[in-house]
Amino acid sequence: MNVTVMAVLAGVFFGIWPLLMNRSGLSGNTGAALFTGLVLVGLVPFAVYSNGMAIPTANWGFLVSAGILGTFGMLFFNGMLASASLAQVPGLFICTTLVQVVIPALYSVVLSGGLPLDKAVGFGAAALAAYLLLR
């Protein structure tokens, strides 16, 4: 499958599940735990089938760090979903998504060693989008 198609489909599914989770009636931590368990149940058959379980060769420092950061992200995100009203969720989700977009953009700036004009304009456009979408 084309990686661009995969990115679009990931965006579709990542865009839908939080809207459903907000309506689950669960607290943030309980919702995060149950959601994570259900995701694990759904993922394990694909991991086993793909034979891509190269666990011994994994970079465990990065893996554990990603897991810890993902845990905090999941707890904060599901806490927000559980606490927000139906009317608040779209704006808060947009805020989360914009911040999420800025992180890899900053990472690319660090990797390239500078802030080119197009990226600076992009950061400004993201700030403007956040302002317009969240007011």
CB 22 within 8 A of CB 89: yes
pLDDT digits (tens, 9 = 90+) for 63-108: 999 999 999 999 999 999 999 999 999 889 888 988 898 899 889 8
Spatial separation of the C-alpha atoms in residues 74 and 80, rounded to whole Å: 10
| Domain co-membership, 72 together with 91 | no
Range of the domain at 108: 85-135
Q: What is the pLDDT of residue 51?
A: 67
Most confident among 67-71, 108-112, 121-125 (mean pLDDT)? 67-71
Look at residues 12, 18, 14, 11 and name the one whose alpha carbon lies nearest to residue 79. 18
Residue 81, burial from CB neighbour count under 10 angstroms (0-12, 13-18, 19+): buried
pTM of the full structure: 0.82
Out of 40, 62, 83, a domain closes at 83
Q: What is the pLDDT of residue 67?
A: 95
Q: What is the domain count for the chain? A: 2
| Domain co-membership, 74 together with 92 | no
Q: What is the pLDDT of residue 86?
A: 92
Out of 83, 105, 122, a domain closes at 83
Q: What is the pLDDT of residue 50?
A: 79
| Domain co-membership, 46 together with 89 | no
Q: What is the pLDDT of residue 9?
A: 95
Position 128 pLDDT exceeds 80: yes
Q: What is the pLDDT of residue 26?
A: 94
pLDDT digits (tens, 9 = 90+) for 4-42: 999 999 999 999 999 999 999 999 999 999 999 999 999
| Domain co-membership, 63 together with 99 | no
Q: What is the pLDDT of residue 52?
A: 64
